Chain A
C-alpha cells in the first residue's frame, strides 16, 4: 500500500524500488494499492522535466502484469478523473485492498 504521493515524500519511490527488488529475488507481488495521496502516482500527465517519472514507473509495473489499483474514492477527492489515469493502473475500491490482504503472505505500507 502506498499512502503518500510522488515527489513530496519518498514513499512512492520506495514502493517502486521495493517491488522491483522483490521481483528480482523471485517473489510474487500480489498487488499495489494506491491510497490517499498515493493515487496521484496514477496520473498519466506526470511529466517531471529531467527527473525520474514516478507515474510512468507505476504504469510500467502495471504493464508488467502486477495489479496496480488506485482507490476510486481517493481519486475523486483529488480530481483524478478516469481519463487522467495511467493505462495500466485501474480504479477500484477497498475491496481490492481486502483482496490483497487476503492473498498476500506479507503486506508492506509505504508512507511519509
Chain B
C-alpha cells in the first residue's frame, strides 16, 4: 500500500499569523486517519491545503503523489471534501443536489444515476430526498452532505468535523455511515474532530495537532499507551502538557 497523503514541513501564514508551523504527517491508502486538536490548532487549515482550497506558504503536501499546488486539478478528480460548516443549495431538492454533484464526476447518464442511487442509499433519507433542502433539519443536511462526499467513491475523502452540531443519535448514525463505507469501499478518509471518542471509534491512526504542529502520532492504542492515558482526551492533555 502506498501513501495517500504526504505532508512535510507544511507552513501556512495569513498575514502575520502563522497557522501551520512545519506540520508533518502521512496517511496510508485505505486508512481512516484522525486529526485532533483544539480550536485554532491548524486542523481546518491543513484540510483546506489538502483540499486544494488554499496554497501552502512553504513545504510539501501531496495527495496520491500529486502536488496540491501544481496538480490541483488531478487531486480534485479523486478527492471529496466536506467542510465543517458546509451547506447544500437550499432551493434544490436533496435528489437534485446529489444529481448536480454527480454530474461533475461522471459524464454518462447511467454512471450519474448510479452515483445518485449510491448517495440515496448512504444518506438513508428515503422519500425526504424529494423535498427541498431548506426544509431539512441539521442532521438531515449533514447526512445528505456526507452522502454527497462518499457517493462518488473518492480515493480520498476529507471530512472536517463530520458530526459537528449533531445530536447523539444523529452523530451515531453518521459515524456508522462513515465507518461502514470506508470498510466496504476501501476509501482513504482524513477526519478532523474535537470529539476524541469519535476519533477513537473511527480512526486507524491519529495525529494530535496543537498550535500548527503535530505533537504526536500513532494508533489510538499507541497514543494511550505512550501517555499512560485511559482515553485519547487524556492522552491529548498529557501530550500538550495541559493536563
- Do A and B assemble together? no
B→A interface (CB under 8 Å): none
